[in-house]
Chain A
Amino acid sequence: MAQSRRDFIKKAAALSAASYLGMSLPIDPRNIARANEGVIWHRGSCRLCGVGCRVELGVKDGTPMGIRGVAESRTNFGYICMKGMHFWKCMRHPDRLTKPLYRKKKTDKFQEISWDKALDIAATEFATAHKEGGGRAVAYYGSGQALTEETYFFQKIMRAGLQSNNVEGNPRLCMASAVGGYLTSFGADEPIGSYSDLEKAHCFFIVGSNTAEAHPVLFRRIMRRKLDNPDTVKVINVDPRISQTSRIADIHLQFKPGTDLALLNAMAHVIVEEKLYDEKFLKNYATFRKGKNVATSFADFKAHLAQYTPEAAAKKCGGSFTADDLRTVARWFATSKGTMSLWSMGLNQRKQGVWANNLMHNLHILTGQLLKDGADSLSLTGQPNACGGVREGGGLCHILPGHRLVVKEKLRNEVEAAWGVPAGRIPPKPGLHTMAMFSAINEAKIKAIWINCTSPVQSLPNCNLYNKGMDREDVFIVTTDIFPTLTTQKSNLVLPTSFHFEKTGVFGCTERRSQITKKAIDSPGDAMPEVWIIREWARKLAEKMNDPVITQCIVPFDGLEEDYELPMAIWNEYTQKLTAKRDNDLRGATYEVLEQMADGVQWPAPTAEYALTGGTVKKFVKGRDPMADTESKNDLPYQFYGPAHADRTLWIWHRDQADPDEIPDAEYPFYLSTGRIIDHWHTMSMTGRIPELLRANPYAYVEVNPKDAERLGIKPGDMVEVKSRRGVNQLPAKVYEGPIEGMVFVYWHDQHKDRMINKVTKDAIDPGSKEPEFKICAVQIKRLSGPQPLRPYIV
Chain B
Amino acid sequence: MPISGVIITSTPEHLDEVLSELQQFPQVEVHGADEKANIVAVLDTTSSEEMETIIDRINKDEKVLNVGVTYLNTEDEAEQMAQGEKLPKPFGFRKPQ
Contact = CB atoms under 8 A, between A and B. Distances in A.
B32 interface: yes
B25 interface: no
A694 B71 contact: no
Interface string B12-53: 100000000000000001011010111011101000110111
Contact of B9 (A66, A220, A691, A791): A220
Nearest to B50: A692
A2 interface: no
Contacts of A753: 96
Contact of A21 (B7, B67, B79): B7
A693 interface: yes
Contact of A60 (B37, B69, B72, B75): B75
Contacts of A60: 75, 78-79
Contacts of B37: 227
A227 B11 CA distance: 8
Interface string B55-83: 11001001001111111111101110110
Question: In the complex, which of the residues A82, A216, A693 has the most CB atoms of chain B within 10 Å of its own CB atom?
Answer: A82
A306 interface: no
A490 B46 CA distance: 40
B71 A12 contact: yes
B72 A85 contact: yes
Interface in A176-216: 212, 216
A136 interface: no
A82 B49 CA distance: 12
Contacts of A69: 69-71
A21 B40 contact: yes
Question: In the complex, which of the residues B1, B68, B91 has the most CB atoms of chain A within 10 Å of its own CB atom?
Answer: B68
A664 interface: no
A695 B70 contact: no
Given A66-B73, A85-B69, A691-B49, A94 B91 contact: no
B32 A18 contact: yes
B59 A10 contact: no
Interface of A is mostly: helix
Contact of B49 (A6, A220, A695, A792): A695
Interface stretch (A73-81, A258-266, A768-776): A73-81
A18 B31 contact: yes
A280 to B, nearest CB: 38
A23 B32 contact: yes
A20 interface: yes
A133 to B, nearest CB: 35
A227 to B, nearest CB: 6
Contacts of B75: 9, 39, 58, 60, 65-66
Interface in A675-707: 678-679, 688-696, 698
A35 B73 contact: yes
Contacts of B88: 691
Given A16-B5, A17-B7, A223-B66, A63 B31 contact: no
A387 B86 CA distance: 38
A64 interface: yes
A195 B4 CA distance: 27
B66 A696 contact: no
Nearest to A91: B81
B58 to A, nearest CB: 11
B32 A63 contact: no
Nearest to B88: A691
A67 to B, nearest CB: 5
A63 B78 contact: yes
Nearest to B44: A10
B74 A66 contact: yes
B66 A219 contact: yes
A791 B97 contact: yes
B52 A17 contact: no
A691 B81 contact: no
Interface of B is mostly: mixed
A247 interface: yes
A13 B48 contact: no
Nearest to B78: A65
Contacts, number: 183
A688 B41 CA distance: 27
B29 A63 contact: no
Interface in A1-47: 6, 9-10, 12-18, 20-21, 23, 25, 35, 39
Given A14-B5, A86-B48, A692-B52, A227 B36 contact: yes
A481 to B, nearest CB: 17
Contact of B29 (A14, A39, A692): A14
A14 B91 contact: no
Contacts of B56: 82, 679, 696
A696 B37 CA distance: 26
Nearest to A61: B82
Contacts of A89: 48, 74
B96 A82 contact: no
A298 interface: no
A217 interface: yes
Contacts of A223: 9, 65-66
A60 B78 CA distance: 9
A628 B87 CA distance: 55
Contacts of B77: 65
A793 interface: yes
A80 B69 contact: yes
A65 B68 contact: no
A794 interface: yes
B24 to A, nearest CB: 19
Question: In the complex, which of the residues B5, B59, B67, B91 has the most CB atoms of chain A within 10 Å of its own CB atom?
Answer: B5
B12 A14 contact: no
Nearest to B75: A65
Contacts of B29: 10, 14
Contacts of B7: 17, 20-21, 79
Contacts of A315: none
Given A23-B32, A63-B81, A227-B37, A17 B71 contact: yes
Given A23-B34, A695-B52, A792-B91, A9 B70 contact: no
Contacts of B12: 227
B70 to A, nearest CB: 5
Interface in A739-771: 752-753
Contacts of B9: 220, 223-224, 227
Given A17-B70, A691-B90, A92 B81 contact: yes
A78 B67 contact: no
B91 A691 contact: yes
Question: In the complex, which of the residues A13, A39, A67, A227 has the most CB atoms of chain B within 10 Å of its own CB atom?
Answer: A13
B90 A6 contact: no
Nearest to A688: B92
Contacts of A9: 3, 73, 75
B40 A18 contact: yes
Contact of B91 (A12, A212, A698): A698
10 contacts: A6-B3, A17-B5, A23-B32, A25-B40, A63-B82, A64-B78, A82-B55, A86-B48, A95-B93, A696-B56
Given A6-B44, A89-B48, 19 more contacts: A6-B1, A14-B31, A17-B5, A17-B6, A17-B41, A17-B42, A25-B32, A35-B73, A65-B73, A69-B69, A79-B7, A80-B70, A82-B59, A82-B67, A82-B69, A89-B74, A95-B93, A690-B90, A691-B88
Interface of B: 1, 3-7, 9, 11-12, 29, 31-32, 34, 36-38, 40-42, 44, 48-49, 51-53, 55-56, 59, 62, 65-75, 77-79, 81-82, 86-94, 96-97
